[in-house]
Structures are given as structure tokens and as C-alpha cells.
């Protein structure tokens, strides 16, 4: 069994793997091919009689649209801000939850709960029960403190969306960091204490380096999900007010389901694929570097 | 013997199977306006009279309904047998062959009784593609008690400048009374209905004669600036998310001094279960700016049958039932005359009880002064008052609506909003190949 694979075995293996790979390829390639095909057509389902090849016109129009560039910027801001908030809060929460205190398991469960709420439900709860300027909890809080009421979704649409996303995803980051913290050798911490490290030094020299792989993993997984955030925007602000929270995904939705412009939506979709690939390549490099010299971080 | 009973059992199963198959299910997509909710309730009568028919309802807010229904019909998905669509969609979809025309309408239905104005708006080349469930124009709702207290007299034809003055006088947010409630929720059928008609009377138009969008014109700037100032100064909080429904609720609860919106909402104000303004609501012509054209819109929510429906004949029968004289009598008997679907039948307005209602004649007057071919002072290439009857308008109107809502919310300046709207509309019209 252990001898090197002969050519016959290789063929058997290939034959066994082929169906799964084939299905996967079809799964991926058919929608992609269709998107590419439609992105080169003038195709609006409202006037099917005007269907036809237009070359790169859809891309050209998209690239000349100032909204496209600003929405690309907003997508990156959304991803970046949500990542920063979730990672920082996740670390803080993980450090808190790692300590022994009464009711810890319940606290952990509560801290984890938001992750299991569906995005649309989370968005609705935030929109109607927390951030609503008239009957939201936040407006009640601020007004009972004598502060002016903030109309979150109208005046701070992007900030509000980042808050909602962070609320949902911080538990995930916390969970990963907590697991990582628990795998930390006790001796190392003790040694550091004995050497007289203060808490800040402990954190930056011992804990953070230990967490760096977990951070890389969280950043990678989260960015892939954050790039495709849609439900939260759709439910709370509808890309507005004005264009203030229109991201790349929302533009694609608007082109496809408000304008029924399949050609333009497909072109936008391809840009999203390219953007996701760029981000993924950068992240994979980052991870790969960390993986190659794990001893660096112990 | 055993075999016999088995055969009998089989026969019974088969028979019941065919009986089951004979039941026709009609799926009706409609908008969550009060008149449609009444229709849904009363339709149990129809099911009782027609045991073979089972009605399934899909009731949605306006914007969602439009997305669902348009996707469904354009992709030929065929999820619905009856659609609730309006004077915008019917001519376009009728021309594309997406709707089943209403031909050979039964004599006792009396189609001649339906206002010709509305029939024309729902026809393509004299073929009727949808039957009006109700039809409406727009007018000004106001609180006569507040007006009397302040000593304001309502002129025959108010202007927007006057409305602003009155709103300023009556605005009393401490007591939850706002000077004016107007739609702010983005959507071509939401905020653009009111912003569009307001802009018309300021002399603005969506497109010039070459179909080029004209949204950065001085007229548009003046109109949108006026609207944004009016709403920011004298509107209710969160106005940018208030659509027809929210404003109707606000006005009925006594929170608004003035409101320009659909005539069809008037009946709701006379429903004591929902409305605190039964005795204090009054109506006047929709205000004008600098030109009289286009202050009153013309709209009809109508029932149409997509060409994909396999049960078109059964669906037609239901549509005739829901829009018949008998149905109107039934609503009057159940819910009172104020609740009947307005604006469709002459016979409704011949009822002494109905014409007595303060909004009845005013609705007719507003509808009759609405001319979809002359939306504003300057000539326009399109038909329609708050919209243009071209497929691209949904997209154009949605983009303008979003931009205007952004200005209303204070996210952008009016100039920026109109520039965004202009560049978006320009892109849409270019993509569609108008120039």
C-alpha cells in the first residue's frame, strides 16, 4: 500500500476524484461563464427586444460612473472598519472571557449569541428597536441622559452599518481568539511574570504575537464575508440616504433588481469577483508567510 | 371480494384526486392599501360562490410589490395569476405582450360605466389590458379646525408658497402637529409622485424633447430646494423614510396640518376605527408653483392577468367580480360608502350617499384636470404626469428618488443630489440607446 503511486493507481485516483472535481468546476464555471457572457450583452429584462452584443460597453459605462468608484471606496471602508472593530473588540472580549469569574459560561454564551442571529433579523432589530430616532432604545438612552437624539441610519449610515456588522461578527473573532488564548502555554506566561513584565508588556510581547495566527485567520475569513455584505444595507438604509451607503454589492443589486439591467449588473459582478480575488491573494500571502515560519511566534 | 374493495378504494382515491385537480388556485399579487385589504377579506364570499376556486394572496408594500411582480413577469416565471399594477406598467407590458387583454367583456359588467379616462390609461391601441380596481388623482388634505383657529381661508387653487406659509403657522411639534407631511421615502412611485408633481408646477420636466434628462435645470433646483426646505422646517421627524402609508397614518392620527397625496386615501380618513380626523379633514386642489400643469397626477391600481397564467379565464372572472357594481355595493353595505373603491365607475358617483361625501366630487375634478400628455409648461416627449411611460423610467425615477431623499436627509446638498440624479439618468438613457 505504501509504495509510490504507479501510473495505474494515478489513473484510478483521477477517475475517482473526477466526478467531484467535475461537479465543482461546473458549479463554478457555469455561473461565471454566464456572467461574462451577459456582461458583454445589452440586456435589460424589461425590453427583451433590444438584446445584443455590445462588447465592453457595460464596463465602460460602469467605469465612467462616479457612483461606481465611490461605492468601491465605501466597500473597502466597510470591510476595513468592520475588521478593525471586530478584531480589537474580539481580543478585548477574549481576554475578559478567559479569566475565571462567576457566571463565566453564561457570559460566554451571551457574548457569542449575536453570531447566531440571521443578518436580516439583526438588521431589523437594530433598525427598529435600537437605532430608531423615535422609539429606539438608543434614542431613549440619549434623551434620558439629556443628550440630543441621534438619527443613526439617516445621519450616520455607514457608521451604523459598521456597528451592526461588528455586533454580529465580534463574537466570531472572540471565539477564535479565546481558543487561541487557551492553547497558550502557562509556563510562558509564568516566566514572563517572573521576569517582571507589566500587563502592557505581557500583552504586546507575549499575548499578541501568540494571537497573530488567529488574527490572520479571522481577518481572512471575515474579509471574505464582509466583501459580500448586503442584507444589513438592504434592510436598514437601502443604500441611502442618497448614495451614502451604496456599496459594490448594493450597486449590483440595484442594477439587477431596480433597473433590471442584467448586462450592467453582470459587469459589476465581475468587478466584485476581481476585487475579492485581489483581497484573497493578498490575504493568502499574508497567511502563507505566517504559516511558513511559525516558530517566530511560538 | 378483497379485490373488489381494493378496486373501489382505488376508484375513490382516483375520483377524489380528480376532484382535487379540478380546484383552480389563483395567486393574486397586490399592494397593502386598505381597499385591497378589504378586497382580500370580501373575497371569501367569492370562494363561497365558486367552490372550485381557491385564492392565494400575496400582499406587499408598493416598492416590494413592484420588484416582485416585474421580476416575475419579465422572466416569465408565472408565479401569479392576477397582478395589481398601474397606469405606468399596463401600457408598456401590454405592448410587449406580457398581459392577457380583456376582450369580450360580459354585458352585465357594463364596461361603459368605467370612466373613459381611466380605460384609455389602461389600454394599448384600444385594447384594454387591465381593469381598474380604483383610480385616483392627488389633492390637498388639510385640517379645517386648525385652519379656522389660525384664521386661514383656503382658496380655490392654493399655491405651494401659501402652503409653506400655512405650514409655518400651524407647525407645532411640541404638540405633535407638523406643518406638513409629504412623502420622502425613495421610489419612483413613492417620493417621486409628490416631488414629480411639485416639480411640474415649478416648470421642471424629466426629459427634454430629445429624451435627455434635465434634472440640473433651474426649475428642478428651485422645486427640490423648496421641497427640502419645506420638509426640513415643517415636516415630521424621519420624513425621508415616510411613504404614502406612513403619512396616511400620521394624518389620520391628527399629526399633520397639511398633506398632498392620493385622493384614494380620503375614504380612510372617514373610517372612525382608524382616523381621529373624521370631522376635521377637508380637501382642496393640489397646490401649484408657477405653472398650473401637472399638479394633479392620474393613477389607477388595476388588476391584470399575465400571459403566463394557465387559468386566465378563471382569473378574469375574479377580476370582473372584484371590480363590478355589485362588489362596490357590497363594500358599501359592509364598510360604508366612504370605503368603496373610488374613481372607476360613473354609477358609484350617481349614488346619492356617495356624492355627498366631501371628497367625492373633488376626486372627480382632480382626475378630470389631470392631463398625462401635458405634464408641465414646456413640451415633453413622454406621456405621464409624475412618471414617463417608458420602461427606463422605473430606474430613472428610483435614482432621482434616492438622490432627493439624500438631500432631504441632509446627506448631500440639493445641487449634489440633482447632479447625481442627472448622471445616473443620463447613464440609464444612454445604455438604453436613446442617444
Of B67, B238, B392, the CB nearest to A134: B238
B341-366 confidence digits (pLDDT tens): 999 999 999 999 999 999 999 999 99
Banded pLDDT at B131 (limits 50, 70, 90): very high
Could you give the CA distance from residue B145 to residue B65 in angstroms, rounded to a whole number?
37
Banded pLDDT at B396 (limits 50, 70, 90): very high
Of A58, A242, A260, the CB nearest to B402: A242
How far does the CA of residue B56 sit from the closest CA of chain A (Å)? 25
N-term to C-term CA, chain B: 81
How far does the CA of residue A47 sit from the closest CA of chain B (Å)? 7
User: Smallest Cα–Cα separation from A227: which of A177, A278, A264?
Assistant: A278
Element (H, E) at A296: none
B305 contact A CB<8A: no
Arithmetic mean of pLDDT, B149-158: 95
B51-82 confidence digits (pLDDT tens): 989 999 999 988 889 889 998 998 888 899 99
Identify the weakest region by mean pLDDT among A130-144, B6-20, B113-127, B405-419.
Answer: B6-20
Of B240, B392, B427, the CB nearest to A154: B240
What pLDDT is stored for residue A296 in this prediction? 47
CB B181 within 8 A of CB B244: no
What pLDDT is stored for residue A51 in this prediction? 85
Cβ distance B406 to A261 less than 8 Å, yes or no, reads no
- Mutate: best of B77, B426, B427, partner A, most A CBs <10 A: B427
**Sign of the torsion angle spanned by Cα atoms A128, A134, A135, A140:** positive
Could you give the CA distance from residue A243 to residue A258 in angstroms, rounded to a whole number?
14
**Sign of the torsion angle spanned by Cα atoms B402, B405, B411, B416:** positive
Half-sphere exposure of A194 (CA within 13 A, CB side): 6
What pLDDT is stored for residue A288 in this prediction? 73
- Judged by CB atoms within 8 Å, which residues 353-392 of B form the interface with A? 391-392
A44 bridge partner residues: A261
B303 bridge partner residues: B84, B131
Q: Is residue B1's pLDDT more than 70?
A: no
Banded pLDDT at B333 (limits 50, 70, 90): very high
Please report where in the chains the cell 435614482 appears, as a residue: B399
Banded pLDDT at B236 (limits 50, 70, 90): very high
What pLDDT is stored for residue B112 in this prediction? 93
* B371-394 as b/e: b if 16+ CB within 10 A: ebeebbbbebebbbbbbbbbbbbb
Q: How far is CA B96 from CA B87, B118, B124, B306, in A?
A: 15, 20, 10, 11
B326 contact A CB<8A: no
Could you give the CA distance from residue A218 to residue A212 in angstroms, rounded to a whole number?
10
B159-194 confidence digits (pLDDT tens): 999 999 999 999 999 999 999 999 999 989 899 999
What pLDDT is stored for residue B21 in this prediction? 54
What pLDDT is stored for residue A1 in this prediction? 46
Could you give the CA distance from residue B357 to residue B350 in angstroms, rounded to a whole number?
12
- Strand, helix or coil for residue A261: strand
How far does the CA of residue B357 sit from the closest CA of chain A (Å)? 35
Chain A residues within an 8 Å CB radius of B433: 42, 50
- Strand, helix or coil for residue A27: helix
Cβ distance A157 to B411 less than 8 Å, yes or no, reads yes
Of A47, A240, A257, the CB nearest to B406: A240
pTM summary value: 0.81
- Mutate: best of A152, A258, A261, A262, partner B, most B CBs <10 A: A258
What pLDDT is stored for residue A298 in this prediction? 40
Q: Which residues of chain A have pLDDT under 50?
A: 1, 295-298
Pairs across A and B, CB distance < 8 A: 107
User: Smallest Cα–Cα separation from B224: which of B189, B259, B191, B264?
Assistant: B191
What pLDDT is stored for residue B3 in this prediction? 52
- What average pLDDT is seen over chain B? 91
B398 contact A CB<8A: yes
ipTM of this complex? 0.74
Helices and strands, number each (H, E), in chain A: 14, 2
- The chain A residues in contact with chain B (CB within 8 A) are 42, 44-50, 57-58, 61, 64-67, 133-134, 151, 154-155, 157, 238-244, 254, 257-261, 263-264
How far does the CA of residue B404 sit from the closest CA of chain A (Å)? 7
In chain A, the residue whose alpha carbon lies closest to the alpha carbon of B69 is A257
Cβ distance A242 to B431 less than 8 Å, yes or no, reads no
Of A134, A242, A258, the CB nearest to B237: A134
In chain B, the residue whose alpha carbon lies closest to the alpha carbon of A57 is B431
> Where would I find the beta strands (DSSP E) of B107-160?
123-124, 127-128, 131-136, 138-143
CB B274 within 8 A of CB B252: yes
Chain B residues within an 8 Å CB radius of A261: 395, 428, 431
CA A251-A254-A257 angle, to 5 degrees, is 145
Proportion of chain B above pLDDT 70, given as a percent: 95
Could you give the CA distance from residue B399 to residue A242 in angstroms, rounded to a whole number?
9
Amino acid at each position: 500500500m505504501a509504495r509510490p503511486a504507479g501510473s495505474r493507481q494515478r489513473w484510478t485516483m483521477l477517475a475517482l476524484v473526477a466526478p467531484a472535481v467535475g461537479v465543482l468546476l461546473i458549479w463554478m464555471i457555469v455561473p461565471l461563464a454566464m456572467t461574462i457572457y451577459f456582461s458583454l450583452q445589452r440586456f435589460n429584462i424589461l425590453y427583451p427586444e433590444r438584446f445584443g452584443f455590445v462588447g465592453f460597453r457595460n464596463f465602460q459605462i460602469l467605469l465612467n460612473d462616479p457612483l461606481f468608484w465611490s461605492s468601491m471606496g465605501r466597500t473597502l471602508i466597510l470591510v476595513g472598519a468592520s475588521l478593525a472593530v471586530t478584531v480589537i473588540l474580539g481580543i478585548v472580549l477574549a481576554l475578559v472571557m478567559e479569566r475565571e469569574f462567576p457566571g463565566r459560561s453564561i457570559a460566554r454564551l451571551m457574548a457569542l449569541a449575536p453570531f447566531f442571529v440571521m443578518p436580516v433579523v439583526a438588521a431589523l432589530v437594530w433598525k427598529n428597536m435600537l437605532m430608531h430616532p423615535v422609539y429606539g432604545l438608543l434614542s431613549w438612552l440619549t434623551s434620558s441622559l439629556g443628550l440630543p437624539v441621534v438619527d443613526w441610519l439617516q445621519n450616520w449610515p455607514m457608521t451604523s452599518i459598521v456597528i451592526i456588522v461588528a455586533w454580529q461578527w465580534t463574537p466570531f473573532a472572540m471565539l477564535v481568539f479565546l481558543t487561541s488564548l487557551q492553547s497558550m502555554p502557562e509556563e510562558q506566561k509564568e516566566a514572563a511574570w517572573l521576569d517582571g513584565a507589566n500587563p502592557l508588556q505581557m500583552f504586546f510581547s507575549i499575548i499578541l504575537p501568540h494571537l497573530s495566527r488567529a488574527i490572520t485567520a479571522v481577518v481572512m475569513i471575515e474579509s471574505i464575508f464582509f466583501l459580500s455584505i448586503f442584507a444589513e444595507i438592504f434592510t436598514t438604509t437601502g443604500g441611502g440616504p442618497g448614495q451614502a451607503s451604496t456599496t459594490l454589492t448594493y450597486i449590483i443589486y440595484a442594477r439587477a433588481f431596480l433597473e433590471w439591467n442584467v448586462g450592467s449588473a453582470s459587469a459589476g459582478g465581475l468587478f466584485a469577483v476581481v476585487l475579492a480575488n485581489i483581497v484573497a491573494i493578498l490575504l493568502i500571502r499574508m497567511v502563507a508567510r505566517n504559516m511558513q515560519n511559525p516558530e517566530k511566534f511560538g | 371480494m378483497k379485490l373488489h374493495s381494493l378496486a373501489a378504494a382505488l376508484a375513490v382515491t382516483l375520483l377524489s384526486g380528480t376532484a382535487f385537480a379540478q380546484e383552480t388556485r389563483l395567486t393574486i399579487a397586490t399592494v397593502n392599501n386598505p381597499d385591497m385589504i378589504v378586497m382580500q377579506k370580501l373575497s371569501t364570499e367569492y370562494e363561497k360562490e365558486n367552490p372550485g376556486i381557491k385564492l392565494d394572496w400575496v400582499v406587499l408594500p408598493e416598492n416590494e410589490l413592484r420588484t416582485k411582480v416585474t421580476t416575475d413577469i419579465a422572466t416569465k416565471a408565472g408565479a401569479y395569476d392576477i397582478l395589481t399594477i398601474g397606469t405606468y406598467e399596463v401600457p408598456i407590458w401590454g405592448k410587449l405582450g406580457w398581459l392577457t387583454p380583456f376582450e369580450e367583456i360580459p354585458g352585465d359588467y357594463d364596461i361603459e360605466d368605467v370612466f373613459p379616462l381611466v380605460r384609455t390609461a389602461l389600454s394599448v391601441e384600444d385594447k384594454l389590458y387591465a381593469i381598474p380596481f380604483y383610480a385616483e388623482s392627488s389633492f390637498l388634505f388639510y385640517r379645517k379646525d386648525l385652519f379656522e383657529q389660525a384664521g386661514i381661508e383656503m382658496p380655490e387653487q392654493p399655491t405651494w408658497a401659501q402652503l409653506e406659509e400655512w405650514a409655518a403657522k400651524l407647525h407645532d411639534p411640541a404638540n405633535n402637529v407638523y406643518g406638513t407631511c409629504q412623502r420622502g421615502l425613495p421610489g419612483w412611485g413613492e417620493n417621486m409622485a409628490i416631488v414629480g408633481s411639485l416639480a411640474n408646477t415649478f416648470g421642471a420636466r424629466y426629459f427634454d424633447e430629445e429624451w435627455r434628462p434635465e434634472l440640473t435645470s433651474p426649475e428642478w433646483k428651485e422645486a427640490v430646494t423648496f421641497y427640502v426646505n419645506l420638509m426640513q422646517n415643517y415636516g415630521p421627524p424621519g420624513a425621508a423614510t415616510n411613504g404614502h402609508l406612513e403619512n396616511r397614518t400620521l394624518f389620520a392620527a391628527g399629526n399633520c396640518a397639511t398633506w398632498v397625496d392620493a385622493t384614494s386615501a380620503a375614504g380612510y380618513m372617514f373610517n372612525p376605527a382608524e382616523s381621529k380626523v373624521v370631522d376635521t379633514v377637508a380637501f382642496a386642489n393640489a397646490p401649484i408653483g408657477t405653472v398650473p400643469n401637472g399638479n394633479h397626477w392620474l393613477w389607477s391600481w388595476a388588476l391584470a392577468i399575465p400571459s403566463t397564467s394557465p387559468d386566465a379565464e378563471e382569473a378574469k372572472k375574479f377580476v370582473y367580480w372584484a371590480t363590478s357594481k355589485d362588489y362596490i355595493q357590497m363594500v358599501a353595505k359592509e364598510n360604508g360608502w366612504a370605503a368603496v373603491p373610488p374613481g372607476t365607475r360613473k354609477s358609484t358617483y350617481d349614488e346619492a350617499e356617495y356624492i355627498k361625501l366631501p371628497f367625492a366630487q373633488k376626486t372627480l375634478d382632480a382626475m378630470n384636470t389631470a392631463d398625462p400628455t401635458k405634464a408641465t409648461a414646456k413640451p415633453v416627449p413622454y406621456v405621464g404626469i409624475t412618471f414617463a411611460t417608458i420602461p427606463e423610467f422605473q430606474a430613472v425615477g428610483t435614482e432621482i428618488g434616492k438622490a432627493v431623499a439624500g438631500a432631504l436627509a441632509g446627506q448631500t446638498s440639493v445641487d449634489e443630489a440633482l447632479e447625481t440624479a442627472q448622471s445616473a439618468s443620463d447613464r440609464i438613457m444612454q445604455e438604453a440607446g436613446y442617444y
